[in-house]
Amino acid sequence: MYEIVKKHEIGYSIYDYEIYAPDVAISAKAGQFIIFRINSMGERIPITIVETKPEKGLVRIIFQKIGKSTFQLASLNKGDYIRDFLGPLGNPTKIKKYGNVVVIGGGIGVAGILSIVKEFKKIGNTIIIVVGARSKNLLILESELRQYSDSIFFATNDGSYGIKGFVTDILKDIVSKNKIDIVYAIGPVIMMKAVSEFTKKKCIKTIVSLNPIMLDGTGICGACRVTVAGETKFVCVDGPEFDAHSVNWNELYFRLESFKYSEKISLDRFKQHMGCVDVKKK
């Protein structure tokens, strides 16, 4: 059992937890993730590790309340326990001195870039951060990201903070004014695909962190399979980071959208069961 030591709501339906998991805390590296399960009957859900405090045995995670299991996780409080907290999983980010590094975070994917920018900054890279969200109330970690960035830019769909537009609008402007050595992007598939298509035209190496459907986290179930450079890869063991220009984005998007439809039906039933919403039959 893993205790919730801290809980904060940091955005609209976005929660910041610290979990006491000393075995994970002592060995986790930037770019890795955990799989949690609330109880013995719960789903196995992957979440990126935001940061760790090995000396205290704490692992920080940030998640958005969007599905059945994240609704259940958000209902827990400080002092409550999670049944399973498996990790660290996946391969860590390859940290090296590239020079000018653009790190892009979209939506809840912003949580995944914090540990990466820390490590890149630590070894002397110049860090340009681009953050995107639908609106201001969904932006997270601004003050922390500013500590490790040489420059930081924001884009919101509705124009409530930063520019009105998308992260690619900012990226195009950055590339037109600077020599960029590598781009890292974490966020919605449609955002990462758009970033990849632009950087491919500009011949800029780009790495993305993928978060497809995932169950066991060991590569046995095959649920997290993606096609990269024409070969089948399993994100949980081969990733989660891949060369963006080699990912079959259309296949990945189709599989995720198919899952989301099923998940929406499951969530509606769960909310109705909990008395949260009146789901009308069509």
- pLDDT for position 185: 98
- Alpha carbon distances (Å) from 76 to 3, 5, 19, 82, 140: 10, 11, 12, 9, 21
Please write the tens of the pLDDT for every residue from 87-119: 999 999 999 999 999 999 999 999 999 999 999
269, part of any domain? no
108: left (phi over 0), alpha (psi -120 to 50) or beta: alpha
Backbone angles phi, psi at 180, to 5 degrees: -105, 130
159, part of any domain? yes
Out of 13-27, 137-151, 215-229, 253-267, which region has the weakest mean confidence (pLDDT)? 253-267
- Alpha carbon distances (Å) from 223 to 101, 189, 214, 226, 259: 32, 17, 5, 9, 11
- pLDDT for position 217: 83
Looking at the structure of the chain, the number of domains it has is 2
Under 8 Å between Cβ of 122 and 56:
no
Percent of the chain with pLDDT over 90: 81
117 shares its domain with 249: yes
282, part of any domain? no
pLDDT category at 42 given cuts 50, 70, 90 is confident
The enclosing domain of 47 has a CATH number of 2.40.30.10
45 shares its domain with 164: no
Distance of CA 139 to the CA centre of its chain: 13
54 shares its domain with 180: no
187 shares its domain with 78: no
Please write the tens of the pLDDT for every residue from 215-242: 888 888 888 899 999 999 999 999 999 9
- Domain closes at, from 70, 89, 108: 89
140 shares its domain with 219: yes
Please write the tens of the pLDDT for every residue from 173-232: 999 999 999 999 999 999 999 999 999 999 999 999 998 888 888 888 888 899 999 999
Q: Per-residue pLDDT averaged across 254-278, rounded? A: 55
What residues make up the domain containing 71? Answer: 2-89
- pLDDT for position 278: 44
35 shares its domain with 104: no
66 shares its domain with 109: no
151, part of any domain? yes
For the chain, the average pLDDT equals 91
Q: 266 versus 53: which is more confidently predicted?
A: 53
Backbone angles phi, psi at 116, to 5 degrees: -70, -45
